[in-house]
Amino acid sequence: MRTFGATLTVLAMIGCNNTDDSVLRGTVEVREVDVAPFAVGRVTSVTVDEGATVHRGDTLAVITAPRLAANLDLAEARLATARAVLRDLEAGSDPEQIEMAMADLVALEAEAARLTRDRDRVDGLLSSGAVSVQARDAAQTAAAAAQARVESGRARLALLRAGTRADQLAAARAEVRQAEAALASERASNADYVLLAPIDGVVLARLLEPGDLVSPAGAVVRLGDVTAPWVRVFVPARMLPGITVGDTAAIIPPGLRESGGDRIIGRIVAINPRAEFVTRAALTEEERADLLFGVKVEIADTTQRLKPGMPATVRLFPRVATP
């Protein structure tokens, strides 16, 4: 089997006996990666242009959703409340603490009542189109957060009045752990809306622009791994006995001549075991001669002269002469 580093001199010697069947046309291809979010959102910004080189971890785009910030605030508030309750239980309670907790609860209830009225008012305005859905969602989240604070305040007051027990401390610590996990989950969800490059590559296309809606089924940016391009050509069935995976090939970029030393070394990395572009039943010799098999030729070109989508000529060097 020929090695990938065979010299051009050897290629020229082998190529002297080739027929025109060994000269094939194909298109340069690369591995493509569509980058999309995990949930529905609106594109806030796209930070790269087509043709730009990116590295793994670079920011490609930022997506937003109506309730992201509100949900994060709610998770942070719940964690702060859980930690405060735990601190109070660990420190014990006294009459002054009970009085302060009662006053805090009154204030929390008043705030919750105000936010509930605001939520009801916004709900009424939504049907008339006076406010947006985002405003309604924010009002609902704020009211829910206020009610959660009220419930935490009531629980804190009840604990102070009853005194601290071992099981109460264990429950409070578990509540803190649960709130920490919820906050970490919300922060991870927010990070999912910042699209990062999963590979080193080149931006092949900006599929969406700021202001567009996007879903997990719709990509925002398409990347290409231009470090490992290939050309796919279709070889007649009669040539298959003379080629195998690992054989060397020559790729000639468009507009250049093979004789001028402009060809690039390639290597066959895959041969399709099934024929393409065939009739339903290839029964005659003529029909079998028309069978074509896809051959993938990997390109060894560090200069990146061959771009994705560019046509290229491929010369194969079969070992066995074809009839």
- The DSSP letter of residue 266 is E
pLDDT at 223: 92
**91 phi and psi angles, rounded to 5 deg:** -85, -15
- Grouping H, G, I as helix, E, B as strand and the rest as coil, residue 14 is helix
pLDDT tens profile 175-216: 888 878 877 766 666 555 788 888 888 899 998 888 888 887
Q: Which of 30, 29, 24, 62 is nearest to 45 (CA)?
A: 62
- What per-residue confidence (pLDDT) applies to 44? 84
How do 201-206 and 221-236 pair as beta strands?
antiparallel
Please choose, from the candidates 201, 198, 196, the residue with its C-alpha nearest in 3D space to the C-alpha of residue 307.
201
Among 42, 49, 66, 36, smallest CA distance to 196 is for 36
Lowest model confidence (mean pLDDT) among 2-16, 122-136, 180-194: 2-16
Q: What is the pLDDT of residues 236-265, one digit of tens each?
A: 888 888 889 989 888 887 766 655 556 788
Q: Can you give the pLDDT at residue 66?
A: 58
Q: For the residues of 170-218, what is the DSSP string, one character each?
A: HHHHHHHHHHHHHHHHHHHHHHHTEEE-SSSEEEEEE---TT-EE-TTS
Query: Phi, psi (5° rounding) for residue 22?
Result: -85, -5
In whole angstroms, what is the distance from residue 219 CA to residue 197 CA?
Answer: 12
**pLDDT tens, 37-76?**
877 778 888 889 988 889 988 888 888 765 655 666 777 7
> What's residue 130's pLDDT?
74
Confidence of residue 158 (pLDDT cuts 50, 70, 90): confident
For residues 160-175, average pLDDT: 74
The residue among 317 and 281 whose pLDDT is bigger is 317
- Which tens digits make up the pLDDT trace of 93-125? 667 778 888 898 899 899 889 888 888 888 777
Res. 278: pLDDT tops 60: no
Binned at pLDDT 50, 70 and 90, residue 6 comes out as: very low
List Cα–Cα distances, 108 to 62, 103, 175, 283, in angstroms. Answer: 36, 9, 20, 85
